[in-house]
Structure formats: C-alpha cells, structure tokens
Structure 1
Amino acid sequence: MSGQSVGPQYHIVGQHCPGTSMENSSYSQPSMLTLGFGQLREIKYFYSTLVLLCFMIIVVSNSAVISAIAMHRSLQEPMFIFIAFLCINGLYGSVIFFPFLFVNLLSKTQVISYVGCIIQVFSIHTYISCEVTILAVMALDRYVCICNPLRYSSIMSLATVFKLIGAAWLYVIALIAILVLLTIRLPLCGSVIQKIYCDNISVVKLSCTDTTANNVFGLLITAAIIGLMPILTLMSYAQILRVCMKASKAFRAKALQTCTPHLVTLTYFVADVLFEILLPRFPSTTLPYELRVLMSVQAFVIAPILHPLIYGWKLREIRLRVLQMFGAKPIADLHNNL
C-alpha cells in the first residue's frame, strides 16, 4: 500500500533493502520513527484547529447518543444498543487518532516511539475492523426483526445482543493481535513512516527481512473481515428486500426507514475500501498531497460524525431524548412538535 493510502490495509508486501544480505545482516529496532507530515507543517495552526474542532464534535455528538440510550430504559432495545456500541467504537477510533495528531501538528518534529507506533497500529486496525463487524451484526438484527418479527423478542434478547457484540470485538481483537505480533518480530532498517499515523503496512515496509508470513496472514484477514463481513451484511439485506417486495407499502416504508442509515454507513465503508485498494495502483503524484492526506484520515472523521447524525437524528426516539438532555422542551411537547 502506498505511503498516503487510506486507512488500514491488511495485505502486506515485503520490502528488501538493495545490496544487503538479510541472512548476514541484523538491524536494530529504532526507538523513534518519523512521520510524513510534509506540507501540513506549513499551515499547522489551521490544521490543528480543524483537528480539535472535529474531535470536539465527535466526542459531544457520540457521547450524547450513548448517554441517551444508557439513561433511558425505553431505548435499551437491541437496535439502540447496537447503535450505542457503534458510537462507542467511533469514540475509540477518535481518541486513538485525534489527540496524537493534534500534538504532532504543533510539535517541531513529527515523531512517534516504536512502542507507540505499534500501539497505534493495533488500535487503528481494531477500530476499522470493529466498525465492519458491528455493521454485520446490526444487519443480522434487522434481518431477524423484519423477516421474523414474531420471534424477534425471543431471538434477540439482551443477553444475545451482548454476546453478539462481544463476539464481534473478540473476533477482530484475536486476528489483529496475531497480525501485530507478526509485525513486531520484524527487524526494521528504516525509520520514516510515509503517513501521518502508523498503520501495519507502513511499519512492515520498513523491514528488510522476508515478510511472506505477513503477506499470507494479511490476505487471510482481508478475506475474514473486509471480505466476509460486507458479504454477510449484503446477504441479510437481500433477504430483507425479498420480504419487503411481498409486503405492503406501509411495511416497506417502515423497513426502509430503519435500514437506510445502515445502508448509508455500509456504502461509505465500501467506498473507503475501494479507495484503499485502488490508490496504491497509481503513482503518488496522481493526487495532490492534501487530497491524499484527507482521504487517508476520512475513516476517522466521517464515520464518527455520520453515526450520531444518521442514527441520533434520523431515529425519532433517540432524537427526542438527546434534545431533552440538552434542555429542550419537555418530552411531551417534543412529541407534539417533532
């Protein structure tokens, strides 16, 4: 994957230093790595202000949705709980990305310790991967709700909901942990990361040893997360579409209302993955530097802002509670006006 490609990439390509003998040479692990901020340093105060503003919006909006669902028993249903955990994952991704980016923008030198880089690799990959697995679980929930409405309450109990969420996270954590362990074992002969944050491909490309194991396992993870989860999601919605085609217009309208936010999020991630796959196939000069950086960070900006917007504001139940939390009219009046 190229230096400024978007988001985490699991398919890793080995890199060897010309004129070196891997068998007879050893490389010390660098204690510090340099990040490729490039032209961002020229107007760092402008970019740091944008970063701080985005981070504040993400924290406030996602926290509001999470708090509304946690504080009101009427919202503690499967669909809303899944939304809450999607927002929690958005907060997780933002906390591991924005504060570090903000500090580096204002620093004279943009560096990160090797240990900090590895932690960021694990965090970024788990964030992106959990986003995909939670969306797949949410699609399953919508499938059961629409295609088996009479059995929905018995199938999707709260215990089942938390088991599905736990399984989605453990599945990702186990795979990414192995990926990171394979990366840690590699000695590095370089110290410059060609991105403004650390991801797995950027670290592995600094190694001068054989990375075949990383290649193979990277392909497996790509298939197991980026490939399998969207397929399961589309299968769920294919079944939902089949049921809706036979139902009344009112039923189709209600199903569309609950499924549209999920489809918007899924479409965004498909576009994100397509960009990630296609960009490395073109020269780094194909796109302007600022645009490449923007596309590389959009997974940490768009999704955490999009989730509270399309779920917290689109779904009436959450919208009413959030407005009430911020001192809006009494809930009875809100029901009459919204």
Structure 2
Amino acid sequence: MINSSQVSYFTFGAYFELGLLKYFVFVIIMSLYILILCSNLLLIVVICVNRSLHEPMYMFLCSLFVNELYGSTGLFPLLLLQILSDIHTVSASFCYLQIFCLYTYANVQFYNLAVMSYDRYLAICCPLQYNTRMTANKITFLIAVTWLFPLLAIVVMISLNSSLQLCGNLIDRLFCDNYSVVKLTCSDTTVNNIYGLIYTFTIIAVLPTVIFYTYIKILKVCFSGSKQTRQKAASTCTPHLLSLLNFSFGCIFEVVQSRFDMSHTPIIVRIFLSLYFLTCQPLFNPLMYGLNLTKIRIVCKSLVFGKM
C-alpha cells in the first residue's frame, strides 16, 4: 500500500493508438483551442475597451469569458501533449493541479450563471431600482464571491484527497478527474465523502434555487407586461437560458461518464462525453452572446471590419 505522496505519476487509460491519424486529431483539437482563445479574448477586449459596455450584465459576462479561458487552458495543453505522446502519463503534482483548474472552472461557471440570472431578474422585474440596487460595490462583491468561494472549496477538497493512500495510478479518462483518483484509494474516505456531500448539497440548495426563483419572477413579468417588456426579456435572457441548458447537458454527461460503467460504450462516445463539458461551453457562449446581444455585436463588427 502506498500513499499519494509516493505516487510520482498517473497513467491515462482512455487513450488508444491512432497511428498517423493522431496528427489530424491534434490539428482539430488545436484549432478548437485557438477558436476558444480568440473568441473569448475578443469579447473580453470588446467589453473592457468600450465604455458603453461597462454595465453589470457585461461585467458578469466578462467574468464568464475569463473563466472559460482559464478552464480551457487547464485542459487543452495537456490533452494536446497526450495526443502526440506514446506514453500517456502525467506527474502526480500536475494531475492535482489540473483537477484544481477543471473543478474550479466548473464551479465558477455555475456561480457565474446564477449571478447573471439574478442580474437579469433585477433588470426586468425592478427596472427603476436597478441602478441603485446593482451598484459597483455589489458587482465587485458578487464577482469576488463567484471566484473566491469555489477556489477555497476546491483547495480544501484537493488537500483532503492528496492525503489519501492509493493502491494504483491508472486513471481511465483523457484527463485528471477527482472521482477517478479517489477510486484508487485504499484508505478511509469518510471525511472526503462528508465534505463532498455538504458542499454539493450547498451548491444544489442555493444556486438552482436562485436561478429558478429569478426566472419564475421574470416569466410572471413577461406574461403580465407589455410587448416591449417581453422583447427585452427575450433578447437578454435567451442566451443565458441556452447557456444554462448547455451547462446542464455538460454536467449530466460528466456524471454519466464518471459514475457509471462505460466500458461497453464505443470509445468515440466516451471521448465525446468527456470533452463536451470542457469544450462546448467555451465555444458556445461567445458565439451565443456575441450574436444575440446587440451592443456586443455592433462593437465586434466595428473592431473586426472597421467603422463604416
């Protein structure tokens, strides 16, 4: 029996021999990563540079795009290296670092979407009080909570898991995953399980409640309001709802991939389920918000094509 401090590396078991096809896969994955970097960076620059976009909704969007750059960088560089490599291993310290990056990305994304739903609720249901209730200090506080609380929670989780004794080092995934590492343990995981349940219950109890409550209020205003109110709600809430739906699909795929036996599933399906959560959200959000929000669309056109 060895503990995690004695495990110098982990081996990924989900990769398979591609032959010369690995260079084609590398180019495809690299293209996706470049597209994610460029699209998210473009919208971050657009929001930061243009003063007309220095509004609460766009500040929260900027936080969302920064998080997507962070999460993508936690996945793609190592993934690209593994595709070209013949020996699919990673050091233990780097594996825990990747777990930290990917789990904080997922948590910050959820917090961000909840805060954005609260912002839309104030804008649509309390338009006259919006500027007084969504102050600069409140925006700063919400963004700080969105980032700091998940970071601290995942630091505690990694600290608990890194002290576990492990009986192996084979991870049946394309990247490091906390659940896969914990499955290798030979020691008692009661404390880890209790902490995980408490944190998961806290998230499930608070964040979905905020989202459901805000959208019930928004729907009530839409049904009882004017046509202009309904149009405003549709234009600003549609991208957010689609992003929530995409995020939910990603969470479901990740749970299915991690918690259930997928050995009889075709390897291509398993790879798709593994990468959906960490690829489609960073690709989907810039496209959705960039096309649907008029202010962002106009500024992007002026930056890319020049002012008419």
State how 1:324-335 maps to structure 2 within 5 Å.
Answer: 324-326=302-304, 328-330=305-307, 333=308
TM-score (norm 2): 0.94
Out of 164, 178, 200, which is 1:222 matched to?
A: 200
The code of the aligned residue for 1:197 comes to: F
Root-mean-square deviation over aligned CA pairs: 1.6
Query: Are 2:40 and 2:66, in contact at CA under 8 Å, matched by a contact in 1?
Result: yes
Asked if the contact 1:143–1:240 (Cα under 8 Å) also holds between the matched residues in 2, the reply is yes
Residues 58 and 304, structure 1, Cα contact 8 Å, conserved in 2: yes
- Percent identical: 37
Distance in 2, matches of 1:126 and 1:136, equals 15
Give the whole-Å Cα distance in 1 for the aligned partners of 2:196 and 2:24. 37
Q: Distance in 2 between matches of 1:123 and 1:274?
A: 20
What is the CA distance between 1:37 and its match in structure 2? 3.5
SS at match of 1:112: strand
Instruction: Give the Cα–Cα distance (whole angstroms) in 1 for the partners of residues 198 and 138 of structure 2.
Output: 28
Cα distance in structure 2, aligned partners of 1:226 and 1:268? 17
Cα distance, 1:82 vs structure 2: 0.8
Provide the C-alpha distance between the structure 2 equivalents of 1:109 and 1:35, rounded to a whole number of angstroms.
9
Distance 1:159 1:312 in 2: 27
CA contact (8 A) 1:68 1:322 kept: yes
Distance 1:170 1:63, change over 3 A: same
CA–CA separation in structure 2 for the residues paired with 1:150 and 1:207: 56
Structure 1 residues 283 and 121: alpha-carbon distance in aligned structure 2, compared to 1, 3 A threshold = closer
| Aligned amino acid, residue 162 of structure 2 | I
Q: Is 1:110 equivalent to 2:88 in the alignment?
A: yes
Residue 174 (structure 1) shift: 1.5
Q: Is 1:132–1:230's contact at 8 Å kept on the other side of the alignment? A: no
* Higher RCO, Cα 8 Å, sep 6+: 1
Find out whether 1:67 has 2:45 as its counterpart.
yes
Give the deviation of 1:244 after TM superposition.
Answer: 1.4
Deviation at 1:279, TM superposition (A): 4.8
CA distance in 2, matches of 1:197, 1:285: 17
Equivalent position to 1:261, from 227, 239, 246: 239
Tell me how many residue pairs correspond in the alignment. 306
Task: Look up the SS of the partner of 1:149 in the other structure.
Answer: coil
Q: In the alignment, does 2:6 pair up with 1:29?
A: yes
Cα separation, partners in 2 of 1:281 and 1:134, compared to 1, 3 Å: closer
Match of 1:177 among 135, 149, 155: 155
**Structure 1 position 49 matched with structure 2 position 23:** no
Distance 1:179 1:70 in 2: 34
Partners of 1:95 and 1:280 lie apart in 2 by 21
Alignment pair present for 1:209 and 2:187:
yes
Which stretch of the first structure deviates more once superposed, 241-250 or 109-118? 241-250
Question: Which structure has the highest helix share of the two?
Answer: 2
Q: Which residue of 1 aligns with 2:73?
A: 95
AA aligned opposite 1:137: V
- Aligned pair partner of 1:39 in 7, 10, 16: 16
Aligned AA (1:35): F
| Cα distance in 2 between the residues matched to 1:230 and 1:26 | 40
Query: Equivalent residue of 1:33, what SS?
Result: strand
- TM-score normalized by the length of structure 1: 0.86
> 2:35 corresponds to which letter in structure 1?
I
State the Cα deviation string for residues 147-180 of structure 1 (Å, max 9, x = none): 1111101111222112101011111111111111
Q: Give the whole-Å Cα distance in 1 for the aligned partners of 2:270 and 2:108.
A: 24
2:165 corresponds to which of 173, 179, 187: 187
Unaligned residue ranges in structure 1 (runs of 5+): 1-24, 334-338
